[in-house]
A and B are shown apart, each in its own frame.
Chain A
Amino acid sequence: MDQFTLNLLVVGFTFAIYIGIAIWARAGSTAEFYAAGQGVHPVLNGMATGADWMSAASFISMAGIIAMAGAGGYQQSAFLMGWTGGYVLLALLLAPYLRKFGRFTVPEFIGDRFYSGGARLVGVICLIVISVTYVIGQMRGVGVTFARFLEVSTDMGLYIGATIVFIYAVFGGMKGITYTQVAQYIVLIIAYTIPAVFISIALTGSVLPQLGLIGNHAPSGGDLAFLAKLDEVVMELGFTQYTAHTTNTLNMVLFTMALMIGTAGLPHVIIRFFTVPKVADARSSAGWALVFIALLYTVAPAVGAMARLNLTTTFWPNAVTGNALDGEALSLEAIENDPALAWITTWSNTGLLAFEDKNGDGMIQYYNDADPRMQAMAEERGWAGNEITKIDNDMMVLANPEIAALPGWVIALVAAGGLAAALSTAAGLLLAISSAVSHDLIKRMINPDISEKGELLAARISMAGAILVSVYLGLNPPGFAAQVVALAFGLAAATIFPALMMGIFSKRINKEGAIVGMLVGLIFTSVYIFLYLGWFFIPGTNMFPNTPEYHLFGISPLSIGTIGAVLNFASAWVVSMVTKAPPREVTELVESIRVPRGAGAAQAH
């Protein structure tokens, strides 16, 4: 059976499961559509949250982002700590209280706690900006994965993916999404772990990649630590030491913090905790979510580091056991004829890997040609620059099974895993958007008299509308998807997280304070990002180049959400102090969400 048929079979099989679940889990009421009837077991909700949270970026890109970072692999640890540490904040500061509040959406809490349609509207706007920007990346991820493994165009892949999401999200709502996410989590974690285990065994002799990362390098005899070997190899070729410390501690701290509070403020993650039966379940469910996320996140740095070493030693065969430069570089002849290296041709056909024999010596020299020591050596040896002209970050995960010569079904599984990661996150985001429209805008602001049946229909129509908009934006993405995701995190950190936290932990913050705070966070953060990335991401409209020497105090646009959050807290507090305290009903509401007793079912109004 050829690889294409195998990919088709495995992906087709997983899609059949998702549709089967959709038929089984149709939503019959708004409580089921918005919050799966509050009947989801905390462990299952943890699994669904894992899939909801881990997007195409986590599955396909993160290991490569860490491994290939120009400043060394340590520098990008911010992603690992930031995208997991947010769950501590969720469990301690938000999830249990919002579950006790017992309604369906994030803007609903903001609107009720700050007793104002204006605050609710600002909440809806922030939610839609965050979720829509985030969903574009997922739609692209679906299209790209399809294109790579199933020989269809990126656009066609996007249509197919959107149709599948349409089926289970429109009919099943949160109930359908929850149980498909559980299935998608299982698919993606198996797909991620199997290649990682095999590579770890080959390079370090350790079955657990987590131990492999801190273990010894097996092929060179087992006396040298794996990380020391990696450092040695990359430094010999003029690249920055893999474990080098950060050159900008302030920026790394702020970036990690922005990712943490951004994670805790993402509406599609928060609403997952509305689906469990009790307050105590919301606390433990955040822990279970992190268990399932950690299974991937503790493996990712090992996958990245090992793939980087594998890739480097492929091009410098002598580096496997000795010094890279004591031997010759990989020859074009070997790339063409050695069956174990067939993946190089396969992946250069996809455009993710590109090489060029610049000096015409029949060999591919891979080194850092910006390094003065290497430039001198190149002169001496007759090299004409680095001959690997492109290594896409995504290759570190996608090509891993082929680099490690694993069987075809593992490759097919990676395709299904990438799709599961992108589809599950897209569905969660679409639910957050559609419930904000049908529940907060239609039911709570425009037409409060709408019937239960009418609202359920409105929710389904909003979902269909949200899918159409995201397909359109996926086909015509504004600017670069990666930049857009940075905006989503910065905004969640600077707007929603502070508003929710103050709403729970302070009785004194009033509607004026909350509205001013959210607007200050929203405007400050987006303007700072636009200054470096272009107004509304239109290329060429940026005021400053996006390089560290132009950043204010060296703070990159990715990290600015933390400052935006601080300004949100500060301005909300100042404005609240000089305006009237919230009314009595609101302080009673705050009292009631602080104690778990009486959580019961979410109220349907």
Chain B
Amino acid sequence: MTERSSSNEYWRANIRIILISLAVWFFCSFGMGIILRPALMGISVGGADLGFWMAQNGSIYVFLVLIFAYAWRMNKLDQEHGVDE
């Protein structure tokens, strides 16, 4: 039973990390890149407005950071819960 509850706790922690990551994923691409672009027109990144840059380059960098951060955080979580390989 202890093992089962520990694995449930592991899974809940995983879901929480996934939800936070997906919120960032959505905000940076759909949010700043598309929906909020008109509101962000005043902010510029070099010669582009923030929304344009997020849509064409910036969101891709955020995606990269997100995946590696998730991989790193999950490896730690695996160890904490003793379910690593």
Q: Which residues of A contact B (CB under 8 A)?
A: 74, 77, 80-81, 84-85, 87-88, 91-93, 96, 210-211, 213-216, 225-228, 243, 245-246, 249, 252-253, 256-257, 278-280, 283-284, 286-287, 290-291, 294, 297-298, 301, 591, 594-599
Contacts and interface: CB of A to CB of B under 8 A. Distances in A.
B83 A596 contact: yes
Contacts of B84: 280, 596-597
Contact of B33 (A81, A286, A294): A81
Given A214-B57, A256-B29, A284-B71, 17 more contacts: A80-B55, A80-B59, A84-B63, A213-B47, A213-B57, A214-B47, A225-B47, A280-B75, A280-B78, A283-B67, A286-B67, A286-B71, A287-B71, A294-B60, A298-B61, A595-B83, A596-B84
B18 A81 contact: no
Contacts of A84: 59-60, 63
B85 A77 contact: no
Contact of B67 (A77, A226, A243, A290): A290
A279 B21 CA distance: 19
B35 A253 contact: yes
A88 B66 contact: yes
A283 B85 contact: no
23 contacts: A77-B56, A81-B59, A84-B60, A85-B25, A85-B29, A88-B67, A92-B21, A214-B46, A227-B48, A245-B37, A245-B38, A246-B34, A249-B34, A256-B29, A256-B30, A256-B34, A280-B84, A283-B71, A283-B74, A286-B67, A286-B71, A287-B68, A301-B57
A591 B47 CA distance: 50
Query: For the complex, would chain A's binding face be called helix, strand, loop or mixed by DSSP majority?
Result: helix
A214 B74 contact: no
Contacts of A93: 18
Query: For the complex, would chain B's binding face be called helix, strand, loop or mixed by DSSP majority?
Result: helix
B37 to A, nearest CB: 6
Contact of B53 (A214, A215, A297, A594): A214
A595 B67 contact: no
Given A84-B63, A278-B85, A280-B75, A591 B56 contact: no
Contacts of B63: 84-85, 87-88, 290, 294
Contacts of A297: 60
A278 B47 CA distance: 43
Contacts of B21: 88, 92
Interface string B1-39: 000000100110010001001100100011001110110
Given A210-B57, A253-B30, A253-B35, A91 B70 contact: yes
Contact of B56 (A96, A211, A278, A301): A301
